[in-house]
Structure 1
Amino acid sequence: MNLFDRVSSDIKNAMLAKDKVRLEALRGIKKEFLEAKTAKGSDGELSDDTALKILAKMVKQRKESAQIYTEQNRPDLAEPELAEAKVIEEYLPKQMTETELEAELKVIIAEVGATSAKEMGKVMGIASKKLAGRADGKAISAKVKELLA
């Protein structure tokens, strides 16, 4: 079962369970998936890779919104954003720990042969493709910068 079908099935389950937060998050996911399927230049299909990128983007948006709401002392608005982010994260692959990320990046740096911060672009290009969905771009960037320094 691909991600689109899984989300559609889970929407039905959330409706039956009367889980409003989960239902809202799942409907948001399905909306984004449908938009990607029908976007100009799309072949009408949604690969799981594309779906994972959409999900990662959605989680990032929710967390950034929650952070802004928290900074503005609006926990009433931040909590639903974090709850939705948590639901969306269930569909993403397990995130890498910092030590796993560091180990992967060391291998990539060795493959590329990077020795200085000037070569960060080469490493980031490969790392962001290889670790897509399993690690946040900011975390990858920070760790690469640290390892090349």
Structure 2
Amino acid sequence: MSLEQEIMTRMKDAMKSKDEDTLRGLRAIKAEIIKAKTEPGAGGEVSAEGELKLLQRLVKQRKDSLEIFEKQNREDLAQKERAEIAVIEQFLPKQLSEEEIRAAVQSIIAQVGATSPADMGKVMGAATKEFAGKADGKIVAGIVKELLSK
């Protein structure tokens, strides 16, 4: 079942159960899928990789908004963002723990032969490919920076 079909099925269930938080998150995903399908050159289809990037972008946008709302003490809006993040993350692969990321980054550093913070670009290039969809880029970058500065 494609992501779009899964979203539609879950939207129907959310409508029946009057779950507004879930419905809002699902509608956001559906809107992004439609937007991606109608972009020039998309040919009316979104690849599995494209769907993954789309979901990651949605989560990142909501996390950025959440951070702003928390700084402004807008708990009402922050709660909505948290609910949408939870819904969207259901469709992403399981995220790696910090320990798993740290171990993988150490092996990438060894493979690339990085020795100083100047080599961060090389490490991040390899790490981005390896962690696609499985880890937050900010966390990966923080760990890489920490390990290279030792």
| TM-score, normalized by the shorter chain, greater than 0.5 | yes
Alignment RMSD: 1.1
Q: TM-score, normalised by structure 2?
A: 0.94
Q: CA deviation at 1:51?
A: 0.9
Aligned-partner Cα distance in 1 for 2:26–2:123? 34
What SS does structure 2 have at the residue aligned with 1:43? coil
TM-score by length of 1: 0.95
| Aligned equivalents of 2:110, 2:6: Cα separation in 1 | 38
Name the residue aligned to 1:11.
11
For 2:74 and 2:111, the matched residues in 1 are separated by 46
Separation in structure 2 between the aligned mates of residue 108 and residue 17 of structure 1, nearest angstrom? 46
Measure the CA separation in 1 of the matches of 2:42 and 2:122: 29
CA distance in 2, matches of 1:139, 1:119: 17
Partner of 2:36: 36
SS at 1:96 equivalent: coil
Tell me, in whole angstroms, the C-alpha distance in 2 between the residues paired with 1:11 and 1:4. 10
Alignment correspondent of 2:53: 53
Letter in 2 for 1:42: A
Q: Mapping of 1:1-149 within 5 angstroms?
A: 1-149=1-149
Q: Distance in 2 between matches of 1:132 and 1:28?
A: 21
Q: Percent identity?
A: 51
Tell me the CA shift for residue 43 of structure 1. Answer: 2.5
In the alignment of these two chains, the number of paired residues is: 149
Query: 1:61, CA displacement in angstroms?
Result: 1.1
| Cα distance in 2 for residues equivalent to 1:108 and 1:5 | 37
Cα distance in structure 2, aligned partners of 1:129 and 1:43:
25
1:25-79 alpha-carbon deviations (Å, 9 max, x no partner): 1011010011111111213211121111111111111121122111111111111
In the TM superposition, what is the alpha-carbon distance from 1:134 to its structure 2 partner? 0.8
Q: Which runs of 5+ in 1 are unaligned?
A: none
